[in-house]
Structure 1
Amino acid sequence: MKVLLTGASGWLGRFLAPRLRAAGHEVVGLDIAPGPDTQVLGTVADRDLVRDAVRDHAIEAIVHGAALHKPDIARYDEQAFVDTNVTGTLNLLRAAVEAGHGRFVFTSTTSMMVSDRVRAGTGEAAFWMDEGFHAGPPRNIYGMTKAAAENLCALFARLHPLDVAILRTGRFFPEEDDTHRELSGENMKANEFLHRRLSAGDAARAHVLALERIGGLGCETFVISAPPPFARDEAGELVRDAPAAIERHFPGVRGLYAARGWALPRRIERVYDPAKAERVLGFRCETDFARVLAALRAGEPLPFDHDPAYVPPKEPA
C-alpha cells in the first residue's frame, strides 16, 4: 500500500517509516518539521494541505502519528492541542473517506485513560487498565484531545466503509520523565517495563501489524504495552509491596538492581493490559522486563532507548 505517515520526522516516525518500507509499503511522510522520511512539510491542522497530499501522492491508507504530546503542555496552549490532535485527525479522516480508503491507523495514548483518580494512585489495588477501563475524564488537555480524536475515528468508521485501528500506546519516549525525577532515567524506564512501557521498535511494529490486519474489523481499540508479568489477583499486593511481587516473578532481581545502584518501585498503581492486541492482531512486545534483566545480567546494552538530551524535531534545540 502507499501509506501517508504523519509525524514522519518524530520519534515514532523514525522507527515506523523504515518498518513500513520493510513490510513492502511505500511511505509518504508528512510532518511540520523536515526529516529524511518527510516529503510533505506542514501541519495536519491544514485541511487543504492534507487533502492535497492524499490526492497528489495517490495515498491508499493513512497512519496518523502526528500529535502534540504531554510534554508539549509546557510549550503550547490548549487551542494548539485542539488544532493538531482533534482538527488534524478530522482532516485526515475526511481525506481518507474522500479518497475511498479502507484502512486508518491512529496513534492514541494510554494517557487518555488516566484521570485524576488514576493519577492520585491512592487505591487499595492497582488499576488494571484494558481497553474498557474508565475512571473519569482524562486529567489534562493532551488526554482530552486524544479522547476526542478517538471518538472521531469511531464515528467515521461507523458512518463510512473505513476500518480503523486505535493504538493506545504506553510510554516509549527517550527523554527523561518531565514530572518524576526521584530515580535515574534508565532505572525509571526499566521499572516501567513491568506495567506501562514499550520500546519504540515495538511501537512501530504494532502499527505495521495494525495496518495490515485491521481490514474487515471496523473500529477497534488496542492497548499497546509490554506484557505485564502480573495477574489481576496480584493488584492489591502491587500497591502494598511491589518489590515482593516482582521478586516472586523474577528471583534475584533485588540483588541485580542493587549491584547497579537501582531501586525497584515501592508501589505499582496501574497496569496496562495489552492482551487484546495479542489476541486480535497477533502482536506481543519483544522487549519486556525479562529482557531488561537479561541485559543487566549479561552486561549488555539496555534494550530500550534513553536520551536525556532528546529534543523533538519541531522544537528548537
Structure 2
Amino acid sequence: MSHVLLTGSSGWLGRHLAPLLAARGHTVTGLDVAVGPHTLVLGSVADRELVFRTVADFGVEVIVHAGALHKPDIARFARQAFIDVNTSGTLNLLEAALAAGHERFVFTSTTSLMVRADVRDGAGPEGAWWMDESFGPLAPRNIYGVTKLAGENLCRLIARESGMATAILRTGRFFPEDDDTLARPCGPNLKANEYLHRRLSVGDAARAHLAALEADVAHWPDNSETFVLSAPPPFTRADAGELARDARAVIARAFPDAPDLYRAAGWELPERIERVYDPAHAQRRLGWRAQDDFAAILTALRDGTPFPFAHDPAWMSPVLGAGE
C-alpha cells in the first residue's frame, strides 16, 4: 500500500475518496484550502513551495489530484484563479511527483471539456453525440474546460517525457447541488434522468479513482491513459438517431415499467437525449464498472428505497469559505 497525497480532500469527491483509500490500506494525507476531516495540510496547490514541501515531509509515494475550481466557480472567481489552481497547480504536483520519483499520478478531469459549442447546442448530424475517449476535436467552451484540458495535456507531456504513468479520469456529473442552468425538471428528477447518459454516483467516482491508483500501467500507450467515467448507458451507438428524436421510446423498450414509475412519482422522462458518455474503456482497462445505474433509480422508485445520488440544493464548495 502507498502513502497518498489527496488534493481536494475537503471537497465532495475527496470526503468520499479519502476513507475508501484508507479502508484499502493506503495512508492518506489530505491537502485542501478548506478545513475538513481528511485534510491535514491547509493550502493551495498553486503554492509550489507548499506542494513540494508536503510531498517531501510526509513521504508521499503517489498523488491523486482531485482538487480544482469547477464550472459553478466561474461566476465567483476570475479566470486567473482557474489558471493558477487548475493549470499551474497541476504542474506543481506533477513536478513534485517527478522530483520524488513517483511511478504514477492520478488526475481528476471532467467530461465538461468535451462539450464544444455545437455539442452544447444539441444533437449531432447522426443523432446523439457518442462521447468516449476518442471524441474530438476538443474545444472547451469556458475557462474551466480550458484549464482542465491544459492539465490533461501536462499529464500526457510529463508521462511521455519521464515515464511516470498518468491516469486521466474524465468524470461525469456527481455533485449534489442543483443544475446551474436548468430549472426543469426538478433536481432529483434531473439527476435520475442523467443516469441514462451522463451521471455517476460519487461513490462510483471514488471507486474509479481507487481502480486507477491500483491499475496495471505496464502497457499504457505513452505511459498515459484517459478514461470517461459515467454510469453505463442502456443504449448502443445504433440508438443515437432515435435518442435525439424520441428518447422516451428507447427508454421504454429498455425499461418497460419506467414510464409508469415516473408518472407515479410526478417525474418526466427526457424527450430527447443529445449526448451519451460511454465508460466502456474504463470497464475494460481498469476493471471498473459503476455500481449505481438507471436500473437502480427505478428500483428506488419501485421499492421506496434511497436513491443512489445525494441531492442538496444548498451545497456549496468548501473553497468558497476558504477564499481560494
* TM-score (structure 1 length as normaliser): 0.98
Q: CA RMSD in A?
A: 1.0
Provide the rounded CA distance (Å) in 2 between the counterparts of 1:266 and 1:39.
Answer: 47
Counterparts of 1:238-317 in structure 2 under 5 Å?
A: 238-316=243-321
Provide the rounded CA distance (Å) in 2 between the counterparts of 1:29 and 1:214.
Answer: 25
Determine if contact 2:131/2:277 at 8 Å carries over to the other structure.
yes
- Matched letter for residue 34 of structure 2: A
- Matched letter for residue 178 of structure 1: D
Query: 2:131 — aligned with what?
Result: 129
Query: 2:170 — aligned with what?
Result: 168
Determine if contact 2:123/2:129 at 8 Å carries over to the other structure.
no
Provide the rounded CA distance (Å) in 2 between the counterparts of 1:149 and 1:106.
Answer: 8
Pair 5,237 (structure 1): closer, same or farther in 2 beyond 3 Å: same
Q: What are the superposed Cα offsets for residues 256-282 of structure 1, whole Å, 9 maximum, x if unpaired?
A: 101010000111000000000000000
Counterparts of 1:60-209 in structure 2 under 5 Å?
A: 60-124=61-125, 125-209=127-211
Secondary structure of 2:55's counterpart equals: helix
Determine if contact 2:34/2:321 at 8 Å carries over to the other structure.
no
Secondary structure of 2:54's counterpart equals: helix
Q: What are the superposed Cα offsets for residues 161-216 of structure 1, whole Å, 9 maximum, x if unpaired?
A: 20110000000000000001111100000000000000000000000010000532
| Residue 114 (structure 1) shift | 0.6
* TM-score (structure 2 length as normaliser): 0.96
Determine if contact 2:123/2:275 at 8 Å carries over to the other structure.
no
Provide the rounded CA distance (Å) in 2 between the counterparts of 1:118 and 1:139.
Answer: 10
| Residue 314 (structure 1) shift | 1.8
| Residue 123 (structure 1) shift | 2.8
Secondary structure of 1:316's counterpart equals: helix
Query: 1:43 — aligned with what?
Result: 44
- Matched letter for residue 56 of structure 1: D
- Alignment gaps of 5+ in structure 2: none
Query: Is 2:17 aligned against 1:12?
Result: no
Large movers: runs of 4+ above 6 Å: none
Determine if contact 1:108/1:169 at 8 Å carries over to the other structure.
yes
Query: 1:210 — aligned with what?
Result: 212
| Residue 316 (structure 1) shift | 3.5
Pair 205,7 (structure 1): closer, same or farther in 2 beyond 3 Å: same
Provide the rounded CA distance (Å) in 2 between the counterparts of 1:58 and 1:282.
Answer: 29
- Matched letter for residue 303 of structure 2: A
Provide the rounded CA distance (Å) in 1 between the counterparts of 2:151 and 2:108.
Answer: 10
| Residue 301 (structure 1) shift | 1.3
Pair 90,214 (structure 1): closer, same or farther in 2 beyond 3 Å: farther
- Matched letter for residue 148 of structure 1: A
| Residue 252 (structure 1) shift | 1.6
| Residue 136 (structure 1) shift | 4.3
- Alignment gaps of 5+ in structure 1: none
Question: What's the % identity of the aligned pairs?
Answer: 63
Q: What are the superposed Cα offsets for residues 116-156 of structure 1, whole Å, 9 maximum, x if unpaired?
A: 01000143400000001014411111111000000000000
Determine if contact 1:165/1:214 at 8 Å carries over to the other structure.
no
| Residue 53 (structure 1) shift | 0.3
Determine if contact 2:133/2:226 at 8 Å carries over to the other structure.
yes
Secondary structure of 2:135's counterpart equals: coil
Q: What are the superposed Cα offsets for residues 75-103 of structure 1, whole Å, 9 maximum, x if unpaired?
A: 01110001000000000000000000001
Provide the rounded CA distance (Å) in 1 between the counterparts of 2:246 and 2:83.
Answer: 40
Determine if contact 2:113/2:138 at 8 Å carries over to the other structure.
no
| Residue 106 (structure 1) shift | 0.1
Aligned length: 317
Provide the rounded CA distance (Å) in 1 between the counterparts of 2:137 and 2:128.
Answer: 13
Provide the rounded CA distance (Å) in 1 between the counterparts of 2:100 and 2:63.
Answer: 11
